[in-house]
């Protein structure tokens, strides 16, 4: 199927050709005709699936009739509003809108907090058809009357689950109450908790469901590896891995702002060009850091989950979880930064024994066990393999995966996560909330279960693939301690014959 088959107007088809896209992705094939037909949409999809073009192209198609070259603000009413949880994601969507609307005289703007509001006001007063906004800043503009939403025809709520996590739902509800009742609404979310479904009920009318989340929960172009390591040796291991691939860029995820800054500092001192991006950094600084990373000037970007939303680099080869996320869905979000647009990527996780229960949660969600590789000299604490240790219980495990590991059979909900010590968790979620979330139903009104674990159609890449073939094990290797598969991908283990 081609983009032309989807019924898009020639100006948009030209923009798609200019962007170099040959054919629509699955979510685009599903979403574009539905949105063009004017239906509301409830879409389960992460970034990396082509979701942004999936809603932006048909949205532009629908409002293209308003395109005009007049200089009068009255001729450029706001027709589409796209809400995104973070500045970075909003900017990302804005870039897409600009890319796809380049052959149409439609105006767009991106408004977000943390920067001077006045230039945004001046821009809005010129008259803008497509406004991409973070919720808080949009409310500022509404209060200051710099935006008029009375002519909005299409509303998009992107990454609704992230909005919920960041506490934006009250803001969203206020914004909804200020929009015309007669409008088309699209809601995208990677997961559908009860709260999201409640919001969807308020916001959407007879929505069509788009199910791409399940199929693309984990891209098949990503190779996953876990390096068991003691928590005290993690930074050394990270530096070690990065030194072995001097030309490679990597996005490194941590859980807290504190660790974020410190780790970037440590890498810098170790001679590895690195910087940190997290919520406490000013917008200017975040933009500069992101630009340096995107342009390749910066080799390693250390980021928290919130700050990393919307980072879109097509050929980013490595995502490294310095710390595992405490919500399994965040693993999917994080690794969605690599393996994009058909490129191959590696998702590497440094896992200490304290984090094994999080690993079990992730493996339950993605429905396969991630191969484990101990990097020589960076062993985990002895209890990593101990029977009865948190998360994965059972017989002493080799570093590799074992299908009969009791962890694979023990329902994750029956395993109790322990409290972590860190006090500055950026996402503000605690174990209790997470437990509560797990207990909630994620089945949509029509019986569709958005949280159903991913079932790969053609097999997920679990570390052994054509793209990343295994190394022959070393003769000195103890088969009980070492898996049959190779060592660290960053050390050249995978990917070499
Ligand atoms: P998204 O899921 O919207 O964040 O998009 C992920 C990446 O895929 C972006 O870099 C897009 O430019 C790219 N992309 C979107 N649609 C297509 C397509 N049909 N073919 C190839 N790449 C695409």
Residue 176 has pLDDT above 50, yes or no: yes
Write down which residue in 211, 233, 251 finishes a domain: 211
Average pLDDT over residues 402-412: 29
The answer as to whether 219 is a domain residue is: no
Pairs from 106-109 (Cβ < 8 Å, separation ≥ 24): 106/60, 106/63, 106/64, 106/66, 106/67, 106/130, 107/76, 108/132
Average pLDDT over residues 334-348: 75
Q: What is the CB neighbour count within 10 angstroms for residue 271?
A: 11
Residue of the nearest CA to atom 19 in ligand 1? 24
The answer as to whether 319 is a domain residue is: yes
Write down which residue in 325, 360, 395 finishes a domain: 395
Atom of ligand 1 nearest to the CA of 312: 10
With H, G, I as helix, E, B as strand and everything else as coil, classify residue 187.
strand
Over the chain, what is the mean pLDDT?
77
Pairs from 97-101 (Cβ < 8 Å, separation ≥ 24): 97/56, 97/60, 97/130, 97/132, 99/15, 99/18, 99/19, 100/12, 100/15, 100/16, 100/19, 100/53, 100/56, 100/57, 100/60, 101/15, 101/60, 101/130
Is the Cα dihedral 76, 141, 305, 311 positive or negative? Answer: positive
352 and 481 in one domain? no
373 and 420 in one domain? no
35-39, 45-49, 210-214, 466-470: which range is least confident on average? Answer: 466-470
Average pLDDT over residues 270-283: 84
Residue 130 has pLDDT above 80, yes or no: yes
Domain that holds residue 431: 403-438
| Alpha carbons 334 and 135: distance in angstroms, whole number | 23
| Alpha carbons 306 and 168: distance in angstroms, whole number | 13
| Res 79: pLDDT | 98
Cα 240 to averaged position of ligand 1 atoms, centre (Å): 33
432 and 470 in one domain? no
pLDDT class of 207 with cuts at 50, 70, 90: very high
| Alpha carbons 427 and 374: distance in angstroms, whole number | 30
68-77, 161-170, 408-417: which range is least confident on average? Answer: 408-417
375 and 232 in one domain? yes
Average pLDDT over residues 379-388: 76
| Alpha carbons 45 and 52: distance in angstroms, whole number | 10
| Alpha carbons 374 and 223: distance in angstroms, whole number | 16
- The distance between the two most distant Cα atoms of the chain, rounded to a whole number of Å, is 76
Average pLDDT over residues 145-151: 96
Write down which residue in 395, 429, 460 finishes a domain: 395
Cα 27 to averaged position of ligand 1 atoms, centre (Å): 10
Residue 226 has pLDDT above 80, yes or no: yes
Residue of the nearest CA to atom 17 in ligand 1? 50
To 10 degrees, the CA torsion angle through 236, 237, 243, 244? Answer: 160
Which domain CATH number covers 274? 3.40.50.300
Residue of the nearest CA to atom 14 in ligand 1? 50
The answer as to whether 340 is a domain residue is: yes
The answer as to whether 141 is a domain residue is: yes
452 and 424 in one domain? no
Cα 340 to averaged position of ligand 1 atoms, centre (Å): 8
Cα 93 to averaged position of ligand 1 atoms, centre (Å): 11
Average pLDDT over residues 299-303: 92
Residue of the nearest CA to atom 20 in ligand 1? 21
269 and 159 in one domain? no
Residue of the nearest CA to atom 15 in ligand 1? 50
| Alpha carbons 234 and 232: distance in angstroms, whole number | 6
Residue of the nearest CA to atom 11 in ligand 1? 50
Q: Best mutation site among 23, 50, 309 for ligand 1, i.e. most ligand atoms within 8 A of its Cβ?
A: 50
Cα 366 to averaged position of ligand 1 atoms, centre (Å): 22
| Tokens 């934006």, residue located | 168
The answer as to whether 171 is a domain residue is: yes
128 and 103 in one domain? yes
The answer as to whether 119 is a domain residue is: yes
Cα 181 to averaged position of ligand 1 atoms, centre (Å): 31
132 and 9 in one domain? yes
Q: Best mutation site among 5, 12, 25, 158 for ligand 1, i.e. most ligand atoms within 8 A of its Cβ?
A: 25
Structure tokens at 447: 């019986």
Residue 457 has pLDDT above 70, yes or no: no
Q: What is the CB neighbour count within 10 angstroms for residue 135?
A: 24
465, 491 Cβ separation under 8 angstroms: no
Pairs from 414-417 (Cβ < 8 Å, separation ≥ 24): 415/357, 415/360, 415/390, 415/391, 416/357, 417/326, 417/357, 417/358, 417/361, 417/390
The answer as to whether 218 is a domain residue is: no
116 and 89 in one domain? yes
| Res 382: pLDDT | 86
| Res 318: pLDDT | 87
Which has the higher per-residue pLDDT, 81 or 246? 81
Residue 470 has pLDDT above 80, yes or no: no
pLDDT class of 314 with cuts at 50, 70, 90: low
Residue of the nearest CA to atom 6 in ligand 1? 48
The answer as to whether 443 is a domain residue is: no
269 and 193 in one domain? no
Cα 255 to averaged position of ligand 1 atoms, centre (Å): 27
DSSP structural state of residue 233: G
The structural domain count of the chain equals 4
159 and 237 in one domain? no
Cα 28 to averaged position of ligand 1 atoms, centre (Å): 10
174 and 103 in one domain? yes
Cα 485 to averaged position of ligand 1 atoms, centre (Å): 32
Residue 336 has pLDDT above 70, yes or no: yes
Cβ < 6 A, ligand 1 pocket: 21, 24-25, 28, 47-53, 312, 314, 340-341
DSSP structural state of residue 491: G
Residue 453 has pLDDT above 60, yes or no: no
């Amino acid at each position: 199927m081609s983009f032309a088959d989807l019924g898009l107007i020639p100006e948009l088809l030209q923009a798609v050709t200019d962007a170099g896209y040959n054919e629509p992705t699955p979510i685009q094939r599903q979403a574009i005709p539905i949105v063009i037909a004017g239906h509301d949409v409830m879409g389960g999809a992460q970034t990396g699936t082509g979701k942004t073009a999936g809603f932006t192209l048909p949205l532009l198609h629908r409002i293209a009739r308003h395109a005009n070259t007049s200089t009068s603000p009255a001729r450029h009413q706001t027709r589409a509003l796209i809400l995104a949880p973070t500045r970075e994601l909003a900017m990302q969507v804005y870039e897409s809108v600009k890319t796809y609307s380049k052959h149409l005289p439609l105006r767009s703007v991106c408004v977000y907090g943390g920067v001077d509001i006045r230039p945004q006001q001046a821009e809005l007063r010129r008259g803008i058809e497509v406004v991409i906004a973070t919720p808080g800043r949009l409310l500022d503009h509404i209060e200051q009357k710099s935006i008029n939403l009375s002519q909005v025809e299409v509303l998009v709520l992107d990454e609704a689950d992230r909005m919920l996590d960041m506490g934006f739902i009250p803001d969203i509800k206020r914004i909804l109450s200020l929009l015309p009742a007669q409008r088309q609404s699209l809601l995208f979310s990677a997961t559908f908790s009860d709260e999201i479904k409640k919001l969807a009920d308020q916001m959407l009318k007879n929505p069509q469901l788009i199910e791409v989340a399940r199929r693309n929960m984990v891209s098949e172009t990503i190779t996953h590896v876990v390096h068991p390591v003691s928590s005290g040796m993690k930074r050394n291991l990270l530096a070690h891995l990065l030194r072995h691939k001097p030309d490679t860029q990597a996005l490194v995820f941590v859980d807290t702002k504190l660790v974020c800054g410190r780790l970037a500092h440590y890498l810098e001192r170790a001679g590895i060009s690195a910087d940190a991006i997290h919520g406490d950094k000013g917008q200017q600084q975040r933009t500069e850091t992101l630009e340096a990373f995107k342009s390749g000037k910066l080799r390693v970007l250390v980021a928290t989950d919130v700050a990393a939303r919307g980072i879109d680099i097509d050929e980013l080869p490595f995502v490294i979880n310095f710390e595992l996320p405490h919500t399994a869905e965040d693993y999917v979000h994080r690794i969605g930064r690599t393996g994009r647009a058909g490129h191959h990527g590696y998702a590497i996780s440094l896992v200490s024994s304290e984090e094994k229960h999080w690993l079990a949660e992730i493996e339950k969600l993605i429905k396969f066990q991630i191969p484990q590789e101990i990097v020589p000299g960076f062993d985990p604490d002895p209890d990593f393999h101990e029977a009865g240790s948190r998360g994965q219980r059972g017989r002493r495990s080799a570093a590799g995966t074992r299908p009969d590991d009791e962890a694979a059979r023990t329902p994750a909900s029956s395993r109790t996560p322990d409290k972590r010590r860190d006090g500055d968790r950026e996402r503000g979620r605690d174990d209790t909330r997470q437990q509560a979330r797990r207990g909630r139903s994620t089945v949509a009104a029509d019986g569709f279960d958005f949280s159903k674990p991913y079932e790969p159609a053609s097999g997920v890449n679990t570390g052994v693939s054509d793209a990343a073939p295994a190394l022959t094990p070393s003769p000195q290797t103890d088969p009980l301690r070492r898996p049959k598969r190779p060592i660290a991908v960053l050390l050249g283990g995978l990917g070499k014959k």
